[in-house]
């Protein structure tokens, strides 16, 4: 009897909270804005840990209208790196690990920001790492080596992305060939924001925020940057009446999991979840907005394990167990919200994220 009551109580708790949000989400409209949010290294274990530590109170992830399982393997490895995974999501092609926006043989392939721009849509990229890092680079650059940060930064300077925010100033101002990419961008009309406060105050596009020489600080010392920068970037991008494509990354979940650092991972997951909530709120008030939240791969092989093999006990405690300091090949979960979310169900390839965004936002 008691067990039945607990089960019903849990069911009511899980059902009631997301239902209210779903009614607000304008999910039937034609898609005109797509916000792709990538949790770098975020698998189901990381999301489960966040939900458990949140006492099973609803998180932003619980608000999803639809979910899918996403296979992440690359063209040459069952365990992908961030470069190949970003390339798959940005271009629709599986490539070899370490490649950015090119096929295994080095042939460049068009990415979502280029396709969106050609259609007159605004584009934006907001990260917590540095802009020349593998995931953001996958949406802008075309190089065979993800560590070719100098060339990647040049491609950022030439791509005419409307909103750029993250770390990596040194790659724009200390170029080996003597170019000052930041100055070149300012001459083209970019507003430059050297601090996050300058970025929040920027009221026009194009804008480039470079807040650190290389990586931004970890979440425990970064404040509410990602949520605020996400909200500000989306409000700027909404100024384009044709719509926009934005890629927002919770970049440092990956690093925390490489280090098997549970405290930093929880801080990064909480930080990313706050940004996801802001994006979902934006979708609630801007018709035709689709938000996709997905990991590029899982890092750390994180599982939630019981402390006791005796399951007749009422509660024996749990532990969070990392099984590697590298990436794992476990598929990741994709969460979809808002307009067109119902297209994202079942088991898909990471390249299908590109295919569906292209079909919904850009057309054939
Ligand atoms: Zn990654």
In this predicted structure, what is the pLDDT of residue 42? 98
Query: What is the average pLDDT value for the chain, to the nearest integer?
Result: 92
Closest CA to 338 of 26, 19, 37: 26
Rg for the chain, CA atoms, rounded = 20
Centre of ligand 1 from the C-alpha of residue 327, in Å: 8
What are the pLDDT digits (tens) for 297-323?
999 999 999 888 777 878 888 999 999
Ligand 1 centroid to Cα of residue 13, in Å, is: 33
**Does 260 or 19 have the greater pLDDT score?**
260
Instruction: State if pTM tops 0.75.
Output: yes
Q: Ligand 1 mean position to 325 CA, how many Å?
A: 13
d(CA 229, CA 231): 5
Strands 327-328 vs 298-299: parallel, antiparallel or unpaired:
antiparallel
C-alpha of residue 94 to centroid of ligand 1, in Å: 15
Q: Which H/E stretch holds residue 17?
A: helix 2-24
- CA of 186 relative to ligand 1 center, distance in Å: 30
pLDDT higher than threshold 90 for residue 345: yes
| Residue 127: C-alpha distances to residues 26, 102, 168, 329 (Å) | 26, 22, 10, 24
Q: Separation of 11 CA from ligand 1 center, angstroms? A: 34
Q: How far is the CA of 6 from the centre of ligand 1 (A)?
A: 38
Going from the C-alpha of 39 to that of each of 43, 151, 269, 317, the distances in angstroms are 8, 25, 8, 27
The structural architecture, per CATH, of the domain 25-362 is 3-Layer(aba) Sandwich (3.40)
Strands 346-349 and 66-71, sheet pairing: parallel
Q: pLDDT tens, 245-265?
A: 999 999 999 999 999 999 999
Residues 110-159 have pLDDT tens digits of 999 999 999 999 999 999 999 999 999 999 999 999 999 999 999 999 99
Which of the residues 16, 28, 74, 82 is marked catalytic?
82
100 CA → ligand 1 middle, Å: 12
Q: Where are the domains of the chain?
A: 25-362
Q: Work out the pLDDT band at 20, boundaries 50, 70, 90.
A: very low
Q: Is 82 a catalytic residue?
A: yes
């Amino acid at each position: 009897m008691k067990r039945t009551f607990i089960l019903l109580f849990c069911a009511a708790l899980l059902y009631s909270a997301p239902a209210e949000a779903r009614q607000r989400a304008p999910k039937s409209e034609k898609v005109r804005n797509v916000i792709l949010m990538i949790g770098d290294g975020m698998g189901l274990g990381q999301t489960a840990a966040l939900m458990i530590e949140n006492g099973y109170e609803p998180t932003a992830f619980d608000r999803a209208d639809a979910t899918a399982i996403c296979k992440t393997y690359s063209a040459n490895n069952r365990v992908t790196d961030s470069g190949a995974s970003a390339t798959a999501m940005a271009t629709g092609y599986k490539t070899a690990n370490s490649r950015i926006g090119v096929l295994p043989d080095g042939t460049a392939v068009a990415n979502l920001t280029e396709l969106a721009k050609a259609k007159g849509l605004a584009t934006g990229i907001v990260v917590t790492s540095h802009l020349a890092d593998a995931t953001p680079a996958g949406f802008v650059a075309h190089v065979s080596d993800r560590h070719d940060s100098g060339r990647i930064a040049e491609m950022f300077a030439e791509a005419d992305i409307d909103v750029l925010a993250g770390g990596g100033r040194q790659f724009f101002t200390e170029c080996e060939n003597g170019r000052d990419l930041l100055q070149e961008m300012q001459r083209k009309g970019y507003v430059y924001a050297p601090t996050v406060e300058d970025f929040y105050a920027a009221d026009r596009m194009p804008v480039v925020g470079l807040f650190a020489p290389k990586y931004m600080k970890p979440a425990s010392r970064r404040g509410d940057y990602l949520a605020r920068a996400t909200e500000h970037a989306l409000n700027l991008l909404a100024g384009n009446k044709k719509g926009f494509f934005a890629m927002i990354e919770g970049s440092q979940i990956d690093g925390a999991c490489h280090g098997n650092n549970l405290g930093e991972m929880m801080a990064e997951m909480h930080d990313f979840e706050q940004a996801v909530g802001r994006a979902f709120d934006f979708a609630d008030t801007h018709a035709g907005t689709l938000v996709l939240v997905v990991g590029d791969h899982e890092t750390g092989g994180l599982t939630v394990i019981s402390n006791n093999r005796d399951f007749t006990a009422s509660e024996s405690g749990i532990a969070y167990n990392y099984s590697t300091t590298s990436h794992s090949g476990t598929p990741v979960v994709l969460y979809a919200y808002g307009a067109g979310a119902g297209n994202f169900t079942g088991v898909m390839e990471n390249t299908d994220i590109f295919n569906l965004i292209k079909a919904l936002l850009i057309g054939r």
